[in-house]
Structure 1
Amino acid sequence: MDEIIRILTQALAELVAPTTAAYALAAIGLNLHFGYTGLLNMGQAGFMLVGAYGFGIATIAGAPFALALLIAAAAGTLFALVLGIPTLKLRGDYLAIVTISAAEIIRWLGRSTVFQQWTGGASGLLGKSYKETFQALSFLPGGRTAVGPLDYINNGSDSWWTRLFAWALVLLAVLFVWLATRSPWGRVLKGIREDEDAVRALGKNVYAMKMQALVLGGVLGSLAGVLYVLPSAIAPDAMGRTMTFFTWTVLLLGGAATLFGPVLGSMLFFFVYMLLRTGMRTGLGSWVGATQVEQIGGLLVGVTLMLLVVFRPQGILGNKKELAFHGR
């Protein structure tokens, strides 16, 4: 019984974890790309990595927290422009090919010894080198606080302060998307998703609208990268293809083109994922090692994503009619 409670507590902790918030924010940005505009961005991890590097390098150079956050957003904007300018006039899957390749380029540049003095190379940047300005903003008292079964320090890397900031940023992003998608601008984006030729015939600049959506979703992705590294460190190999794969799973699980789908998808995904991993470590620990448990977990995520695409592409909160355009 105690073992079951421990497993459930660890899974429950994932519901409010900073990593869960980071993936929710990244999925909100991806939702602007795919759910509302129809852009196939397969390199959201690239946006997250440039945002993390922008924030970390700026902070180490002496920038205050707010300025470092703006630099992270600017890095995401620049990355979106570099990707979008040559590809957004093209149709089909060209953007997907470019984004997944560009995300890998960013990861390998981060690992490269050429930029090691700024990026730390394959070892990345230690968290203690860029976290002080963020932790100095905390208004929480010292010590620990328990909320039900969850007990964390108030300040520090794995703290309530990190969780409060992360989820507050997610809520702000949800509010922004709610306002944006209900504006005339948001309705044009949905029109582009459904039939960009018809929108172009009405005199709208489809290329400019796509670029705006790519930039805004990329900025949210870069800020998600900041959230992801606040409780840990910046490691390029931790922000690769698997991260994009998980972000797509989160989005499709919750529901593309929905307001709260990315948030629900992230919380549900990481709750179940942690439940499976801790359960397998406990139940199969005598037969398989930790590496095999991670591999089995990745296999189950892949199967889940395939089943979602086949049997419920609209996700939990989505409307199948919203995704009808993808079957054309």
Structure 2
Amino acid sequence: MDWARILTNVAGELIAPTTAAYALAAIGLNVHFGLTGLLNFGQAGFMLLGAYGFAISTIAGFPLWAAVLVAIACAVLFGLLLGIPTLKLRGDYLAIVTIAAAEIVRIVGRSTALTDLTGASSGLRGDSYKVTFQALSPFPDGTTTLGPFTYANNASNSWWIRIVGWLLVLLACLLVWRLINSPWGRVLKGIREDEDAVRSLGKNVYAYKMQALVLGGVIGALAGVVYVLPRAVQPDAMGRPMTFFIWTILLLGGAATVFGPVLGSMIFWGALMLIKTVMRDVVPATVMRTEQIEQFGWIVVGVTLMLLVIFRPQGILGDRKELAIDAR
């Protein structure tokens, strides 16, 4: 078994654009759940809307900054439409509504009536909306090797996407750190623990929840932009499984922590790559085919989520006292 190759693949997964995108999405979910206690199971909907907003506006001729603003505006609008009728719900009811809303976004995106706009189930090709982002790169065309890693400078899955993606993760972590230690963040924590007590102090709980929902959704939309830069915008790729992967990442690293989502994303994708790579080398094709090994990797993810919730719901970096699931 070539352990050098295996470990190189795993290490490369730790800094991949997909890992950065999921870390960013988990940071947004952390604002919802970790800080405010909102059981949002529709983060993939925010990501898909951000991806569509960015891609469609770029194809329409918008510059990069305007396309990013469109993605943010889509998340804000979706957060408002979702939050106005639902934020008075608690626990399981909010979870059901949010996952249904995300599914509505996915189904509308793949509708044949919107083929000219969204590409329906086929989605939008990556080369149709990446030009403005790649044009902003300060790197020359070609490839660059750093240690064991060799990637293109500006194409899909490039160093440029990695740098931008992880810079956004760093900025999001800084923002969450400031919020956790701000009066606004302390009110959110109070809502998470006992919203009736916060309401008795004269705080507008509904407004704070709405602010948290929109802010976390905006971070999720930016994660959607990062996620589709190395690939195409495909609605079925951002469905229910993506939301559960984000929840696994958040619970793995630790909710209500600054770097928990980042650590969770790295461990999640690194471990998944390790499992798949080792099994491809060890398990004979007569026992388990390549596609079956892929499915087995996701089975491991499901079992991991179950064990996390049962034995360590606070995650690796989390504090059990910080974890509050309001199921009233």
Report the TM-score, using the length of structure 2 for normalisation: 0.97
Matched residues in 2 for 1:59 and 1:20: separation?
24
Q: Which residue of 2 aligns with 1:252?
A: 251
Matches within 5 A, 1:147-296: 147-286=146-285, 287-296=287-296
Is 2:316 aligned against 1:316?
Answer: yes
The Cα shift of 1:6 comes to 1.4
The Cα shift of 1:65 comes to 0.6
Identity of aligned residues (%): 69
Superposition misfits of 4+ residues, deviation over 3 angstroms: 324-328
Sort the Cα spacing of 1:112 and 1:324 in 2 relative to 1 into closer, same or farther, 3 A.
closer
Contact between 2:254 and 2:316, CA under 8 Å: does it hold in 1?
yes
Q: Which residue of 1 aligns with 2:107?
A: 108
How many residues in Structure 1 have an aligned counterpart in Structure 2? 327
The Cα shift of 1:142 comes to 2.6
The Cα shift of 1:327 comes to 8.0
Q: Which residue of 2 aligns with 1:301?
A: 301
Q: Which residue of 2 aligns with 1:10?
A: 9
Matched residues in 1 for 2:278 and 2:40: separation?
33
Letter in 2 for 1:158: N
Q: Which moved more, 1:196-205 or 1:167-176?
A: 167-176
The Cα shift of 1:145 comes to 1.4
Matched residues in 1 for 2:8 and 2:126: separation?
26
Matched residues in 2 for 1:89 and 1:104: separation?
21
Sort the Cα spacing of 1:155 and 1:285 in 2 relative to 1 into closer, same or farther, 3 A.
farther
Matched residues in 2 for 1:297 and 1:157: separation?
25
- Tell me the alpha carbon deviations over residues 172-222 of structure 1, each in whole angstroms, 9 at most, x when there is no partner: 111111112211100000000000000000000000000000000000001
Letter in 1 for 2:300: L
Letter in 2 for 1:300: V
The Cα shift of 1:285 comes to 4.2
Q: Which moved more, 1:31-40 or 1:91-100?
A: 91-100
Gap runs ≥5 in structure 1: none
Matched residues in 2 for 1:63 and 1:206: separation?
37
Sort the Cα spacing of 1:43 and 1:249 in 2 relative to 1 into closer, same or farther, 3 A.
same
Is 2:118 aligned against 1:119?
Answer: yes
Q: Which residue of 1 aligns with 2:32?
A: 33
Letter in 2 for 1:195: D
Describe the SS at the equivalent of 1:157: coil
The Cα shift of 1:290 comes to 2.1
Contact between 2:63 and 2:132, CA under 8 Å: does it hold in 1?
yes
The Cα shift of 1:291 comes to 1.9
Describe the SS at the equivalent of 1:115: helix
Matched residues in 2 for 1:317 and 1:228: separation?
25
Contact between 2:126 and 2:228, CA under 8 Å: does it hold in 1?
yes
Matched residues in 1 for 2:54 and 2:183: separation?
33
Q: Which moved more, 1:242-251 or 1:175-184?
A: 175-184
- Tell me the alpha carbon deviations over residues 135-187 of structure 1, each in whole angstroms, 9 at most, x when there is no partner: 00001123221111111111111110110000011111111111122111000
Q: What's the C-alpha RMSD, in Å, of the aligned pairs? A: 1.2
Matched residues in 2 for 1:103 and 1:283: separation?
39
Letter in 2 for 1:192: I
Letter in 1 for 2:302: G
Matched residues in 2 for 1:281 and 1:128: separation?
31
Matches within 5 A, 1:12-161: 12-161=11-160
Matched residues in 2 for 1:269 and 1:285: separation?
25
Contact between 2:91 and 2:326, CA under 8 Å: does it hold in 1?
no
Report the TM-score, using the length of structure 1 for normalisation: 0.97
Letter in 2 for 1:314: Q
Describe the SS at the equivalent of 1:314: coil
The Cα shift of 1:324 comes to 4.6
Describe the SS at the equivalent of 2:22: helix
Letter in 1 for 2:255: A
Matched residues in 1 for 2:278 and 2:65: separation?
40
Q: Which moved more, 1:207-216 or 1:89-98?
A: 89-98
Matched residues in 1 for 2:273 and 2:78: separation?
32
